[in-house]
Chains A and B, each alone.
Chain A
């Protein structure tokens, strides 16, 4: 069964600095997709960025980028120029892989706190 691991339960970052949130995954299937979601304190889940297992380049979306290292099975989220509004829970999730379905399997999340 596939598994998503986020080893950092909580992180602090200074405003305007960059921060990396770790995500490792385990699957034996070569075809899968990796997603990052942001969950502010208000509770909603906001899609941030996607990386496909066959994508040759790391995904970028505004201040968000993915450091995708396929051989190491890691898909770390990099947030550049942190803002106070970035304070939230961040979840890494996988679709496809050993599940061979459309469900998302989520990691345990990382709480990011941006300091002014």
Chain B
């Protein structure tokens, strides 16, 4: 069964550094998402991406964050000037089509980001 792939599984970075989290969505999916889950807390939406542009973003997704689809398969989340509070599990997800409420979002296994 096709799946969303995320790399790396764990990233340890010094505070103030930039990190890039990578995702390969399911190949026929058109809508891509990033979520984060701070340890012990609920999953929070960051951003959605469709047709090579941001479709929606939350208040969390400020100028520190950016997303990109550099080629036909990868979808990346860049976090600049990382802070301690950026430590979390970051999930990439994808779905087949926008607009339909019944399309499930399929999640990757997540990247655990630890800021020291």
Contact = CB atoms under 8 A, between A and B. Distances in A.
The answer on A and B forming one complex is: yes
Interface of A: 31-33, 35, 37, 42-47, 50, 52-53, 91, 93, 95-96, 101-109
B56 A50 contact: no
A104 B95 CA distance: 12
B42 A106 contact: yes
Residues of B in contact with A, size category? 20 to 34
Contact of A52 (B41, B56, B101): B101
Chain A interface SS verdict (over half): strand
B22 interface: no
Contact of B101 (A33, A46, A91): A33
Given A45-B43, A102-B98, A105-B45, 14 more contacts: A45-B91, A45-B93, A45-B107, A45-B110, A47-B105, A101-B48, A101-B56, A103-B45, A103-B48, A104-B43, A104-B105, A106-B43, A107-B42, A108-B42
B102 interface: yes
Given A31-B101, A33-B102, A95-B101, A103 B33 contact: yes
